[in-house]
Amino acid sequence: MGRLIIISNRLPFSIDHEGDQLNLRQSSGGLVSAIKSYFESDSSTNRGFTEKLWLGVADFPQNEWSIVEEKLSGLDFQIVPLFVNKLLYKDYYNGFSNSVLWPLFHYFPNLVESNVHYFDAYVKVNRAFADKLIPLLEPDDTIWIHDYQLLLLPEMIRAEKADAAIGFFLHIPFPSYELFRTLPAEWKTSLVRGVLGSDLIGFHTHDYAQHFLQSAKMILGVDSSFHAMQYQDRLVKADLFPISIDYKKFNRACSDLETKQYYNEIIKNFDSRKIIFSVDRLDYTKGLMDRLNAYEHFLDQYPEWREKVVFILNIVPSRDDIQAYTERKQQIEQKIGTINGKVSTITWQPIIYRYTHLPFNELAALYKAADVALITPLRDGMNLVAKEYVASCSGRKGVLILSELAGAANELNEALLVNPIDTIEVSNAINRALTMPEEEQEHRMFLMQQRLSDYDVIKWVSDFLDQLANVKQEQLKQQVK
């Protein structure tokens, strides 16, 4: 067994400058937690990878690399930084990735900004990844590429390394062909061909995989049967691998001393009031405005809950240099002000709003303290927050209200599933959650917890890598025949 090379847009940490000091901060996204948990588990050593590498764009200048490298000495994987010109990066990341692919793949076609410079930059940065990687490759390497910023990379690698083992995983939805086809011909053809350079293509849900297969059929005429295709005389598979969480980590966190301190403070502060909680990046896909409308409606429709419930709404800053994001922040804050202004009393405020990134133990304490988690994205590839809340409720009650348009809804059927834009349905679900008998809460939670602890994130990684190895084996057999 050779090396495992993880490739994502960003490296799994960022750098904070504090005066002359450089501090490393681990990124908190789902992918980073997943891969780190896997690296720290026995599974990655048991598989026999001789080395693990992570390639991504550095958020620090090249001349700081030697200082950063020293600070990385304790890591059990090697970092391979890619340095990209800032202006080019902007057109690739803010531009094509987040102003074309992100809105389109989340069903917001009206927010797509078609701009040829964006696509050019996207091609160039994918090329830069390929140019950095290819000279480093050794024959037995396993390459695992992540997400929508790197859709062209598999084909670029394949063109020069015909036998490479390449896996690709898409963390966001793949949209229906009717939407995907609205992209200019050159873009959509390049994107589908790019991904098909992989041996195994992973999606969170069956629907996303089907959407991709249909696009491959309609755009390139590639037929598939049971998730398998013959593309340029090579077997390629597209299958579902719903990402999970480090179940034990969230379970354990609930009994950490620091979590307990945060938890006690929360409980003391809110007395006997019921707590509704949500945490999301600031993003139009998260349905924050619709969620606030529903909560406002709930307070009007069920006035008996006034002063007995509090909604702790945590928004994590994100992409605040893209206009579509900054405008929404203002609208959301205005709405929160309106609701609080309308129904607050001298001793009660219906919404506690924070715009910050929470320390992990505080997040765990909020999961633990929440009677209800209100997770209502308008679209979401998976949504790990929903799964983390369930894991944090182990052995106790709590109700998850979850959007039926999040990938997680496919697995968390015991949640109260709602249409996030249906104000009345969400408002009724809040009331139902707050009045649900304890026995029913525990029963629903138990079933979801079983599922998540059986298939945790370490299994997710292992499963993907096993399947990738299987595809390579099948390809060899086909060649022998």
CB of 145 to ligand GDG, least distance (A): 14
**What is each CA distance from 166 to 310, 373, 414, in whole angstroms?**
48, 37, 36
Q: Examine residue 209 and tell whether it contacts ligand GDG (CB under 6 A).
A: no
CA distance linking residue 302 with residue 481, whole number of Å: 69
Question: Rounded to the nearest 5 degrees, what angle is found at the Cα of 366, between the Cα atoms of 332 and 291?
Answer: 30
Span near ligand GDG by CB under 6 A; candidates 1-9, 149-157, 175-183, 354-362: 354-362
CA distance linking residue 169 with residue 305, whole number of Å: 44
CB of 61 to ligand GDG, least distance (A): 25
Name which position in 240, 316, 324, 421 contacts ligand GDG (CB under 6 A): 316
Name which position in 15, 22, 24, 29 contacts ligand GDG (CB under 6 A): 29
Encoded one letter per residue, x for contact with ligand GDG by CB under 6 A and - for no contact, window 91-130 reads ----------------------------------------
Q: Examine residue 281 and tell whether it contacts ligand GDG (CB under 6 A).
A: yes
Locate 453 and state its tokens: 């602890």
Is 463 designated active site?
Answer: no
Locate 452 and state its tokens: 């998540």
Name which position in 199, 388, 411, 414 contacts ligand GDG (CB under 6 A): 388
Residue 419 burial class via C-beta count within 10 angstroms: exposed 0-12, middle 13-18, buried 19 and up: middle
CB nearer ligand GDG, residue 32 or residue 156? 32
CB of 106 closer than 8 Å to CB of 378? yes
User: Across-strand partners of 404?
Assistant: none
Collapsing DSSP to helix, strand or coil, 286 comes out as helix
Q: Examine residue 30 and tell whether it contacts ligand GDG (CB under 6 A).
A: yes
Site for ligand GDG in 161-180 (CB under 6 A): 171-172
CB of 62 to ligand GDG, least distance (A): 27
Q: Examine residue 390 and tell whether it contacts ligand GDG (CB under 6 A).
A: no
Span near ligand GDG by CB under 6 A; candidates 6-14, 15-23, 374-382, 426-434: 374-382
Q: Examine residue 37 and tell whether it contacts ligand GDG (CB under 6 A).
A: no
CA distance linking residue 479 with residue 465, whole number of Å: 21
CB nearer ligand GDG, residue 95 or residue 381? 381
CB nearer ligand GDG, residue 30 or residue 194? 30
Collapsing DSSP to helix, strand or coil, 56 comes out as strand
CA distance linking residue 180 with residue 98, whole number of Å: 15
Q: Examine residue 252 and tell whether it contacts ligand GDG (CB under 6 A).
A: no
Encoded one letter per residue, x for contact with ligand GDG by CB under 6 A and - for no contact, window 403-422 reads --------------------
Q: Examine residue 290 and tell whether it contacts ligand GDG (CB under 6 A).
A: no
DSSP string, 319-368: -TTSHHHHHHHHHHHHHHHHHHHHH-BTTB-SEEEEESPPPHHHHHHHHH
CA distance linking residue 79 with residue 106, whole number of Å: 31
Collapsing DSSP to helix, strand or coil, 197 comes out as coil
CB nearer ligand GDG, residue 41 or residue 392? 392
Nearest to 407 by CA among 390, 427, 387: 387
User: How is residue 146 annotated by DSSP?
Assistant: E
CB nearer ligand GDG, residue 33 or residue 441? 33
CB of 316 to ligand GDG, least distance (A): 4
Span near ligand GDG by CB under 6 A; candidates 29-37, 190-198, 232-240, 332-340: 29-37
The catalytic position among 106, 171, 204, 211 is 171
Site for ligand GDG in 214-243 (CB under 6 A): 243
CB of 160 closer than 8 Å to CB of 134? yes
Site for ligand GDG in 416-475 (CB under 6 A): none
Is 171 designated active site?
Answer: yes
Report helix, strand and coil shares of the chain as percent, to nearest 5. 50, 20, 30
CA distance linking residue 385 with residue 286, whole number of Å: 12
State the amino acid at position 430 in one-letter form.
I
Binding-site ranges for ligand GDG (CB under 6 A): 28-31, 33, 171-172, 243, 279, 281, 316, 357-358, 360, 363, 380-385, 388
Q: Which residues are catalytic?
A: 171, 380
